[in-house]
Amino acid sequence: MRGKTNKKKIEKHHIEDLVGRIYMSFCVLLLIVIIVSMVYFVASKGLANFISGRVSLSDFLFGTKWAPEADTPSFGALPFISGSFLVTLLAALIASPLSICAALFMTEIVPGWGKKLLQPVIELLSGIPSVVYGFVGLSVIVPFLRDTFPGQGIGVAAGALVLSVMILPTITSVAADALASLPQNLKESSFALGATRWQTISRVILPTTMPAIMTGVVLGMARAFGEALAVQMVIGNAPFVPRSLFESASTLTSVITLSMGNTTLGSTLNNALWSMALVLMLMTFVFVLLVRMLERRNKI
Amino acid sequence: MQFRKSWIMALALTSVVALSACGNSNNAATNNGGNNAAATNTPTESSSGADLSGSILASGSTALQPLVELAAESFMDANSGVDIQVQGGGSGTGLTQVSEGQVDIGNSDVFAEEKLKDADAAKAEALVDHQVAVVAIAAVSNPDAGVDSLTKQQLVDIFTGKITNWSEVGGTDQAIQIINRPSSSGTRATFEAFALGTKTEDLQGSVQEDSSGTVKKMIGETPGAIGYLALSYLDDTIKTINYDGVEPSVDNVVSGDYPVWAYQHMYTNGEPNEVVKAFLDYMLTDEVQNGDVVELGYIPASAMQVSRDVEGNVTAK
């Protein structure tokens, strides 16, 4: 009798183990299948134009003329690629100092009520849908820029401003986590040596946590690079490399959302849009690699 | 080391699976989530002709979507056995999906021949056109521009960048800001074909917006802005510009005096089945043509005194 129940117990235990294992492997496998097939799909569509020779790779990457419906169509995507980088870098330049200061404020200056008040407010920003950002940008930022600067208000500056608000929460939360995980004794020894709070922050805390903070910045840039709707509403979408920050420009995402629905599958224009999607994906991959590298540096 | 090996194995395995499934994924991933519904949507033939049952899936032009949705609702009220779903996605998506059999009806702003060209021309031939409404497009400007009417040549010069100030066409001294549509847009194709008579290239500094609502908002707010909108979007926040002295009104479109208009098409792949045909016939009844169509700001296709073919030749009916 006792032997039998013992055996049953072990069996149940084993079955649980097996079920858990199968379920886990199934989920992981499904995930891998999804990712691999997605990469394959975008790559096969994105490379179709280059393989069939309808568009040459160098014309696509470095051509500045985008005229897909002209009698002699040309598919230069440089305006979109440069627009994406310009907007992303500017947004990161605007958002990083703000986020790092907010993170310092929450963790170093007033860790008590500062964190309690500021953190939910900043996290709220990440929950706002991007169409709301776009509409606020169109109704507030664009008229403001139009009245203050030459030009029509729309353009890279408006796009970067909208994006910088959108990526604030990403950078802030990563930076705040990094600052909070800094060993207390580093700060204490700095204070013990007679350093002021500012000296401690600028010479000890920030240099030590910089790789982790940069991780946040890169994650924020990845988000900015992929954001479509809000940018599309305020940037103007002219397929040109802009001559000023207040002139209509385009990003990879904005031209994809603008044209994808109007094109038929398999047409050269449609495939060119897929090529841009591929560029976007490769860039995301680069961002991920960057984060990995920064994380590794952070450990040393 | 062993761990890494198993990962490589898993990756290799999944890529094989993904590759072998790629024939299907071509269809699956391009359909904006409506694919599964379409697969189960083969309408069931009803035994008696009187009460219809089955389901219809339509996708495509967002300009036509509200009309089809409204008509579908009243059609479903009258025929409880029929289920109609209408999705957006754009004219190109609608045409692609209907020619691949993923949907029953593909809604489009333009003739299928204009989108499915060259290698895809055969696909366009297989599609059957049902013209359900007409949309007219008017040139509009910011109210402060001070211009009531523009000739065809003036419009061409503005949209090709030869005229850059409103004072050159008798308006106020104000730089012209073009609010355009993306070059793939059906609205832009219609405006270029019938108002300008020529394709235009994008100009540096011009603005491109996709949705009519955004275009209208930007023209109303931006000093010196010019653009074009469907008649149903016109109101006091923007100024409607007469074309060669002709006012863009429903009467002028119907009589053929105002040339900037296009059909709204509902394409089926081959002749439609019973349920789809019943719905398309319903779209052309007076109830819909003089009701929903007019209510939503379209012009009834049945009222038109002229007709136009793919090449743009206009003939009196």
Nearest residue of A to residue B218, measured between CA atoms: A138
**Lowest-confidence pick of A264-268, A273-277, B179-183, B312-316:** B312-316
B18:A36 CB<8 A: yes
SS3 percent helix, strand, coil of chain B, rounded to 5, is 45, 20, 35
At A242, the amino acid letter reads P
Q: Which of A143, A237, A266 sits opposite B208 (nearest CB)?
A: A237
ipTM of the complex: 0.77
Structure tokens at B301: 């296709």
A72 has a chain B CB within 8 A of its CB = no
Instruction: Annotate A228-259 with b (16+ C-beta within 10 A) or e (fewer).
Output: bbbbbbbbbbbbbbbeebbbbbbbbbbbbbbb
Helix A156-180 vs helix A78-104: crossing angle, to nearest 10: 40
For residue A205, give Cα distances in angstroms to A94, A116, A186.
21, 22, 8
Q: Give, as one character, the DSSP assignment of residue B86.
A: E
Q: Which of B10, B22, B202 sits opposite A32 (nearest CB)?
A: B10
Q: Which of A33, A237, A265 sits opposite B182 (nearest CB)?
A: A237
* Closest to B212 (Cα-Cα) out of B74, B313, B93, B62: B62
Q: How far is Cα A191 from Cα A193, in angstroms, rounded to an integer?
A: 5
Q: How far is Cα A277 from Cα A135, in angstroms, rounded to an integer?
A: 25
Mutate to test the interface with A, among B91, B109, B210 (most CBs of A within 10 A): B210
Q: Which of A41, A44, A262 sits opposite B182 (nearest CB)?
A: A262
How many other CB atoms are found less than 10 A from the CB of residue B254?
Answer: 18
In chain A, what percentage of residues exceed pLDDT 70? 96
Q: How far is Cα A77 from Cα A251, in angstroms, rounded to an integer?
A: 9
Nearest residue of B to residue A236, measured between CA atoms: B207
Q: How far is Cα B187 from Cα B193, in angstroms, rounded to an integer?
A: 10
pLDDT value for A260: 86
Nearest residue of B to residue A259, measured between CA atoms: B184
Q: Which of B183, B205, B208 sits opposite A247 (nearest CB)?
A: B205
Q: How far is Cα B212 from Cα B137, in angstroms, rounded to an integer?
A: 11
In chain A, which residues have their Cβ closer than 8 Å to the Cβ of B88? 261
- SS3 state at A75: strand
* Closest to A38 (Cα-Cα) out of B39, B217, B22: B22
Q: Give, as one character, the DSSP assignment of residue B285.
A: S
A269:B184 CB<8 A: yes
pLDDT at A18 > cutoff 60:
yes
pLDDT value for B229: 92
Q: How far is Cα A100 from Cα A96, in angstroms, rounded to an integer?
A: 6
pLDDT value for A100: 94
B182:A265 CB<8 A: no
> Tell me: the pLDDT tens digits for A102-141?
999 998 888 888 888 888 888 888 889 999 999 999 999 9
Structure tokens at A82: 């440069």
Strands B225-230 and B306-308: unpaired
B204:A70 CB<8 A: no
Alpha helices, DSSP H only, in chain A?
2-52, 57-62, 78-104, 113-127, 130-136, 142-148, 156-180, 184-192, 197-199, 206-226, 229-235, 252-259, 268-299
pLDDT value for B173: 92
Q: Which of B92, B116, B221 sits opposite A261 (nearest CB)?
A: B92
Task: List, as one string, the DSSP characters of B146-208.
Answer: ---EE-HHHHHHHHTTS--BGGGGTS-S-B-EEEE--TT-HHHHHHIIIIISS--PPPTT-EE
B11:A143 CB<8 A: no
B227 has a chain A CB within 8 A of its CB = no
B88:A41 CB<8 A: no
How many other CB atoms are found less than 10 A from the CB of residue B66?
Answer: 16
Mutate to test the interface with B, among A264, A268, A278 (most CBs of B within 10 A): A264
In chain A, which residues have their Cβ closer than 8 Å to the Cβ of B209? 233, 237
Q: How far is Cα B60 from Cα A263, in angstroms, rounded to an integer?
A: 11
The CA distance from B167 to the nearest CA of chain A, in Å, is: 19
At A32, the amino acid letter reads I
Task: List, as one string, the DSSP characters of B121-137.
Answer: HHHHHHEE--EEEEEEE
pLDDT value for B117: 76
Task: List, as one string, the DSSP characters of B224-284.
Answer: TEEEEEEGGG--TTSEE-EETTB---HHHHHHT-S--EEEEEEEEESS--HHHHHHHHHHT
pLDDT value for B107: 93
pLDDT at A98 > cutoff 90:
yes
Surface-to-core class of residue A30, CB atoms within 10 Å of its CB (0-12 exposed, 13-18 middle, 19+ buried): exposed
User: What is the biggest distance separating any 2 CA atoms in chain B, rounded to whole angstroms?
Assistant: 80
Which residues does A240 contact at the CB level (< 8 Å), separation at least 6? Answer: A64, A79, A248, A249, A250, B202, B204, B205
Q: Give, as one character, the DSSP assignment of residue B76.
A: H
> Tell me: the pLDDT tens digits for A130-163?
999 999 999 999 999 988 988 888 899 999 999 9
Q: Which helix (H) or strand (E) holds B60?
A: strand B54-60
Following CA atoms B296, B301, B302, B307 in sequence, which dihedral angle do they give, to the nearest 10 degrees?
160
The CA distance from A41 to the nearest CA of chain B, in Å, is: 8
> Tell me: the pLDDT tens digits for A188-198?
999 999 999 99
pLDDT grade, residue A44 (50/70/90)?
A: very high
Surface-to-core class of residue A67, CB atoms within 10 Å of its CB (0-12 exposed, 13-18 middle, 19+ buried): middle
* Closest to B268 (Cα-Cα) out of B124, B114, B55, B105: B105
Dihedral class, residue B16 (left if φ above 0, else alpha if ψ from -120 to 50, else beta) = alpha
Would you say the C-alpha torsion B87, B307, B112, B193 has a positive or negative sign? negative
Nearest residue of A to residue B27, measured between CA atoms: A265
When the pLDDT of each residue in chain A is averaged and rounded to a whole number, the result is 89
pLDDT value for B20: 47
- Contact between residue B158 and residue B247 where contact means Cβ atoms under 8 Å apart: no
Q: How far is Cα A292 from Cα A300, in angstroms, rounded to an integer?
A: 13
Following CA atoms B277, B278, B280, B283 in sequence, which dihedral angle do they give, to the nearest 10 degrees?
170
Block means of pLDDT (10 residues each) for chain B, 317 residues, are 54 50 40 38 42 87 88 91 89 90 91 81 87 92 91 93 92 91 87 90 87 88 92 90 92 91 92 91 90 89 86 79
In chain A, which residues have their Cβ closer than 8 Å to the Cβ of B62? 261
* Start-to-end C-alpha separation, chain A: 58
82-121 of A, contacting B, C-beta below 8 A: none
